[in-house]
Amino acid sequence: MNEDAARAEAPGPAGRNWAGNLAYRAQQLHEPRSLEELRDVVVREPRLRALGSRHSFTDVADGDALVSLDRMPGDIEVDADAGTVRLPAGTRYGTLAAALHERGWAVHNLASLPHISVAGAVATGTHGSGDRSGTLATAVRGLELVTADGEVVGVGAAQAAGDGAVARQLPDVDLDAAVVGLGALGVVTAVTLAIEPTFDVAQEVYPGVPWDDALADLDAVTGSADSVSLFTDWRSGAIGQVWRKSRVVAGWEPRTSLLGVPRSTVELHPLEDVDPRSTTAQLGVPGPWHERLSHFRMEHTPSHGQELQTEYLVPREHAVDAIGALRRLGPRLAGALLVSEVRTMAGDQQWLSGAYGGPTVGFHFTWRLDVDAVAALLPHVEEALGPFSPRPHWAKLFTVSGAGSPTALRAAYPRFDDFRALAARLDPQGRFHNAFLERHGLVG
């Protein structure tokens, strides 16, 4: 299906996702204005899905009926003693970041864009980059959610709620089980995140770093800053751009070269034909964390805008071999690929996290908005990465016959069946089921 055909499908009342490739088929969109209204919607709708900021490329959020929390009231509350912030689940990272910075606080990392909702991002295992930096979900210290029976429950060490709405903590459910929850366990109403004192970051971009030099010691490259991204077309002998983000701490000094390649003296967009004004400040100039940790600015369209995305997470020890496999595939991807991004992340214990179990590397693909061309290529990408047990990013496009088959997912996620059992226990009637969860064997 090409761009025009993808857009031709008529959406329900929730409209389309950010990319426009998905017309939400749900025939009901609820927008409750209070916790009571939300609880009422949950017990009334036999099939209901929570909708975040609509940035996923898959139908992970879609269902028979949707509930958006955009009209729910709530404040961003910092608990300085606990080092946490409690926020309404639908809050965008960009809104949260500005509020935290103003009060002298920060979160540990951001994704490439600040436009996404906190609940949707953590529910899908969204991440930034950094050898020592866990996914965004690893900052979660507590969740408050409305479960299938309409009860408001807490998981983890939720910051004391001003409204005292949480009826009880869920017994036998810990955060590792529930944070990357894909909307299958309930509607999250508030999230408590770990925070730290605000810090400055300097961002530098290096165009044209030879692959051979980088692969000679990849750990040195990805460990050379707090967050490193490699942008590549997989075909060239050089990495198109290396982005480095470094915390400005005692002893920090500006750097001007990477493996002998000089730092860019002009700001760059990862895509040659897109205006770099939409990107965050570069050139090694220190500034607030939230104006550097994401690649793109809140007030601009992130990335390309007319695109699809895919990403696979692979155990870090396979990084060099997986890069080799993708470079061999590069010529085949040429017509459909806008750019790829390689990022690293620290491992975690969250059951459905792409970084479960140990250090991880992510291979991201920004594709042209051509659904058919991407669908035809995905089996080849998954075959190339097959030897490395790729975990597909839940929010980005993947197949149901390869890396996204229930069999492959069960092999890639050691706690897959535990998650199924938890979802069945919390939601025995399947109120939060949808086609995505069923297709990939996550419920049922």
Ligand X SMILES: Cc1cc2nc3c(=O)[nH]c(=O)nc-3n(C[C@H](O)[C@H](O)[C@H](O)COP(=O)(O)OP(=O)(O)OC[C@H]3O[C@@H](n4cnc5c(N)ncnc54)[C@H](O)[C@@H]3O)c2cc1C
Taking CB under 6 A as the criterion, the residue among 48, 87, 100, 121 binding ligand X is 121
Check binding of 138 to ligand X (CB under 6 A): no
The contacts of residue 220 (CB under 8 Å, 6+ apart) are none
Q: State whether residue 264 is helix, strand or coil.
A: coil
Shortest reach from residue 354's CB to ligand X, in Å: 8
Shortest reach from residue 174's CB to ligand X, in Å: 17
Q: Are 158 and 189 in contact (CB under 8 A)?
A: no
Check binding of 170 to ligand X (CB under 6 A): no
Shortest reach from residue 210's CB to ligand X, in Å: 25
Question: Which residue spans within 168-306 are E strands per DSSP?
Answer: 168-169, 187-194, 196-197, 200-210, 227-232, 238-247, 257-258, 261-262, 287-288
| Interacting positions 389-408 with ligand X (CB under 6 A) | 393, 395
Taking CB under 6 A as the criterion, the residue among 38, 51, 170, 228 binding ligand X is 51
Scanning the structure block, which residue is given the tokens 């590069």? 330
Task: Using alpha carbons, list the distances in angstroms from residue 436 to 27, 139, 231, 375, 384.
Answer: 17, 26, 30, 16, 24
Check binding of 152 to ligand X (CB under 6 A): no
Span of 31-39, 54-62, 211-219, 242-250 interacting with ligand X by CB under 6 A:
54-62
Shortest reach from residue 79's CB to ligand X, in Å: 21
Nearest one of 339, 227, 344 to 292, comparing CA atoms: 227
Scanning the structure block, which residue is given the tokens 């939409």? 278
Check binding of 95 to ligand X (CB under 6 A): no
Shortest reach from residue 310's CB to ligand X, in Å: 11
Please say whether the dihedral angle defined by the alpha carbons of residues 75, 78, 82 and 88, taken in this order, is positive or negative.
positive
Residue closer to ligand X (CB basis): 99 or 395 = 395
The continuous run of DSSP H or E covering 338 comes out as strand 337-345
Nearest one of 170, 93, 125, 159 to 350, comparing CA atoms: 125
Check binding of 123 to ligand X (CB under 6 A): yes
Check binding of 127 to ligand X (CB under 6 A): yes
Q: CA–CA separation, 141 vs 159, rounded Å?
A: 8
Shortest reach from residue 229's CB to ligand X, in Å: 9
Q: CA–CA separation, 121 vs 144, rounded Å?
A: 16
Q: CA–CA separation, 320 vs 212, rounded Å?
A: 11
Q: Which two tokens stand for residue 79?
A: 């608990």
Q: Which two tokens stand for residue 28?
A: 């009901």
Q: CA–CA separation, 205 vs 161, rounded Å?
A: 42
Dihedral angle of Cα 398, 401, 406, 410, to the nearest 10 degrees:
-80
Span of 37-45, 97-105, 180-188, 209-217 interacting with ligand X by CB under 6 A:
180-188
Shortest reach from residue 393's CB to ligand X, in Å: 6
Taking CB under 6 A as the criterion, the residue among 53, 203, 241, 360 binding ligand X is 53
Residue closer to ligand X (CB basis): 94 or 315 = 94
Shortest reach from residue 304's CB to ligand X, in Å: 8
Taking CB under 6 A as the criterion, the residue among 6, 21, 35, 55 binding ligand X is 55
Shortest reach from residue 54's CB to ligand X, in Å: 5
Residue closer to ligand X (CB basis): 97 or 182 = 182
Q: CA–CA separation, 326 vs 167, rounded Å?
A: 50
Phi and psi at residue 49, to the nearest 5°: -130, 140
Nearest one of 192, 201, 194 to 130, comparing CA atoms: 201
Check binding of 188 to ligand X (CB under 6 A): yes
Q: Between vectors from CA 331 to CA 6 and to CA 337, what angle results, nearest 5°? A: 30
Residue closer to ligand X (CB basis): 61 or 423 = 61
Shortest reach from residue 307's CB to ligand X, in Å: 7
Residue closer to ligand X (CB basis): 261 or 365 = 365
- Convert residues 256-295 into a mask of x (bound to ligand X by CB under 6 A) and - (unbound): ----------------------------------------
Span of 95-103, 108-116, 207-215, 265-273 interacting with ligand X by CB under 6 A:
108-116
Q: Which two tokens stand for residue 65?
A: 């009926």
| Interacting positions 352-371 with ligand X (CB under 6 A) | none
Shortest reach from residue 215's CB to ligand X, in Å: 23
- Between strands 105-106 and 196-197, the pairing is antiparallel
Span of 122-130, 149-157, 383-391, 410-418 interacting with ligand X by CB under 6 A:
122-130
Q: CA–CA separation, 140 vs 176, rounded Å?
A: 10
Shortest reach from residue 96's CB to ligand X, in Å: 12
**Residues in contact with ligand X by the rule CB under 6 A:** 18, 49-56, 60-61, 69, 89, 111-113, 116-117, 119-121, 123-124, 126-127, 182-183, 187-188, 302-303, 309, 393, 395
